[in-house]
């Protein structure tokens, strides 16, 4: 019995890696991508990691440059002050997305500062294709967390998390019934 519970604890710890552990894994994966071989991937390890404010709702992660660094110059990991990731992504459910976020920000740190075609090409090198598409689901997750009100259809019970009340101004697209305002607990 005791052995069993220790094993469970161990599995639990292994399943939710820290941000630093995830970053090390991302960097290791980047080392194995031939298209990145010419870039200073090893220097990414020196970049401090942090967390965005818990109530950030637009930003999922950010690469912050040091003071005075001009985006148009050739940039590298030494120009980066820190990379911050949304704390809501640091759960088991979002691990794959967090790794993709780190990869995205590391590309910025390697000098690809704009979301241009070249950047999108680099971004598509991430081996977990599905993780790349998790951004909209994560955005929805954040909206639900921060919503003060849920607009709910009394018939089909579809829910729309929102910051404000609907004040009986909207109807359900499926049922044509007026949506009700429910306070989000
Ligand atoms: Zn970006
Ligand atoms: Zn409905």
pLDDT of 65-91, one tens digit each? Answer: 999 887 767 889 999 999 999 999 999
Over the stretch 28-42, which tens digit does the pLDDT of each residue have? 999 999 999 999 999
The DSSP bridge partners found for residue 80 are: 65
Q: Which ligand has an atom closest to residue 123 CA?
A: 1
In the reported structure, the alpha carbon of residue 64 is separated from the centroid of ligand 2 by a whole-number distance in angstroms of 44
In the reported structure, the alpha carbon of residue 58 is separated from the centroid of ligand 1 by a whole-number distance in angstroms of 12
**Residue 17 pLDDT greater than 60, yes or no:** yes
Q: In what order do the strands lie in the sheet with 80-85?
A: 49-51, 80-85, 61-65
In the reported structure, the alpha carbon of residue 167 is separated from the centroid of ligand 1 by a whole-number distance in angstroms of 37
Q: Which ligand has an atom closest to residue 62 CA?
A: 1
In the reported structure, the alpha carbon of residue 153 is separated from the centroid of ligand 2 by a whole-number distance in angstroms of 5
Q: Which ligand has an atom closest to residue 114 CA?
A: 1
**Residue 179 pLDDT greater than 60, yes or no:** yes
In the chain the domains, ranked by start, together with CATH numbers, are: 14-141 (3.30.2010.10), 147-183 (no CATH)
In the reported structure, the alpha carbon of residue 22 is separated from the centroid of ligand 1 by a whole-number distance in angstroms of 18
Neighbours of ion ligand 2 (CB under 5 A): 153, 155-156, 172, 174-175
Over the stretch 89-102, which tens digit does the pLDDT of each residue have? 999 899 999 999 99
In the reported structure, the alpha carbon of residue 171 is separated from the centroid of ligand 2 by a whole-number distance in angstroms of 8
- Give the C-alpha separation, 112 to 35, whole Å: 14
**Residue 157 pLDDT greater than 90, yes or no:** no
Q: What is the largest CA-CA distance in the chain?
A: 60
Q: Which ligand has an atom closest to residue 159 CA?
A: 2
* Local confidence band at 15 (pLDDT 50, 70, 90 cut-offs): low
Q: Please state the rounded mean pLDDT for residues 124-142.
A: 93
The pLDDT > 90 percentage for the chain reads 71
Burial of 125 (0-12, 13-18, 19+ CB in 10 A): middle
Q: Please state the rounded mean pLDDT for residues 103-125.
A: 95
């Amino acid at each position: 019995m005791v052995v069993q519970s220790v094993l469970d604890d161990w599995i639990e710890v292994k399943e939710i890696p820290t941000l630093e552990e995830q970053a090390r894994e991302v960097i290791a994966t980047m080392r194995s991508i031939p298209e990145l071989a010419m870039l200073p991937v090893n220097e990414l390890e020196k970049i401090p990691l942090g967390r965005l404010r818990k109530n950030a709702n637009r930003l999922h992660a950010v690469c912050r440059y040091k003071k005075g660094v001009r985006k148009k110059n050739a940039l590298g990991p030494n120009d980066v002050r820190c990379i911050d990731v949304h704390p809501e992504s640091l759960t088991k459910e979002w691990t794959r997305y967090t790794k993709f976020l780190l990869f995205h920000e590391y590309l910025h740190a390697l000098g690809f500062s704009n979301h241009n075609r070249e950047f999108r090409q680099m971004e598509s090198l991430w081996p977990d294709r599905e993780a790349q598409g998790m951004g909209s689901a994560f955005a929805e997750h954040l909206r639900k967390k921060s919503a003060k009100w849920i607009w709910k259809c009394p018939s089909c019970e579809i829910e729309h998390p929102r910051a404000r009340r609907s004040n009986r101004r909207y109807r359900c697209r499926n049922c044509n019934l007026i949506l009700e305002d429910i306070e989000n607990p």
